[in-house]
Amino acid sequence: RRMPADMPLGRREFVVGALAAGLMAMPGMALAQAVAAAADGNDVLRRLMAASTQRAFARLALPEGFWKSGVARFNLPILFTKTGGNPPGVLADTAFREQLIHKLNNVAEAGARGASAAMTDASRKLTFADPQAVLSGRPTAATTEMRLQMGTNMLAMLIPSIEQALIAAPDPIVTQATAILPGVTTGDVAHAVALSAENGIWYEIGAAEAEIRANPSLSNDQTLVAALRR
């Protein structure tokens, strides 16, 4: 159906958008209910992801947080393995590599502490196109959507705190491993650890989301508890 050419621009844009969303076919009450449901669903999901993010980061920021996690613990970052099948010096020693992996997982705790507040704040600003589908989806569906929306933002949050930790308290194992890699700096190590830690953190957030969906009282958010138990 053709719209009048003299229709005011603001109204014309609204009608086009409404047609595209299929909302014009709804009666007024149904439209209002749909908008309210979407707003309510987004609030529930924001609360869910804020609680999940806080829970995940609290665990990972503890001493041995990454190392003891069943999902966030990571192996040797690619920076230390890209030399091929013949790693140089002490990196050829299995026992040394295990120690290095443990030390780098511990360094990642600083990144978790540094990024926790910003990540929780980001979770409270999320907007989901189809909140009801996410709420009725897989136990980690909201985490998947949050990760897509955030892109590489978490990585940028992790790097500064990890680099500061490496500089403030240099570990002899990490220092020894870095020294035998030509041209590798502390900043390079921080970036490599952040890349590995980021993936693990998303897994930890997903695990926390699944836990809260299964037991909403873990969130300590009565509004979220009521919403998830409907």
pLDDT tens per residue, range 43-83 = 999 999 999 999 999 999 999 999 999 999 999 999 988 76
**Which range is least confidently modeled, 35-44, 78-87, 95-104?**
35-44
How far apart (Å, rounded) are the C-alpha atoms in residues 91 and 33? 61
pLDDT of amino acid 53: 97
* pLDDT of res. 90: 85
Q: Would you call 207 exposed, middle or buried from its count of C-beta atoms within 10 A (0-12, 13-18, 19+)?
A: buried
Q: Which residue has the tokens 């836990």?
A: 211
Whether the Cβ atoms of residue 128 and residue 42 lie closer than 8 Å to each other: yes
- For residue range 102-161, what is the model confidence (pLDDT) as tens digits? 999 999 999 999 999 999 999 999 999 999 999 999 999 999 999 999 999 999 999 999
What six digits make up the tokens of 123?
Answer: 């979770």
pTM, entire model: 0.81
Q: Given this model, what pLDDT does residue 106 score?
A: 97
User: Which residue in 215, 178, 209 sits closest to 52, CA to CA?
Assistant: 209
| Alpha-carbon torsion angle 143, 147, 149, 154, nearest 10 | 130
- The conformation of residue 219, written as its DSSP 8-state character, comes to G
d(CA 194, CA 107) in angstroms, rounded, equals 10
pLDDT confidence of residue 120 = 95
219: exposed, middle or buried (C-beta count within 10 Å: 0-12, 13-18, 19+)?
Answer: buried
Euclidean distance between CA atoms 85 and 148, whole angstroms: 34
* pLDDT of the residue at 142: 97
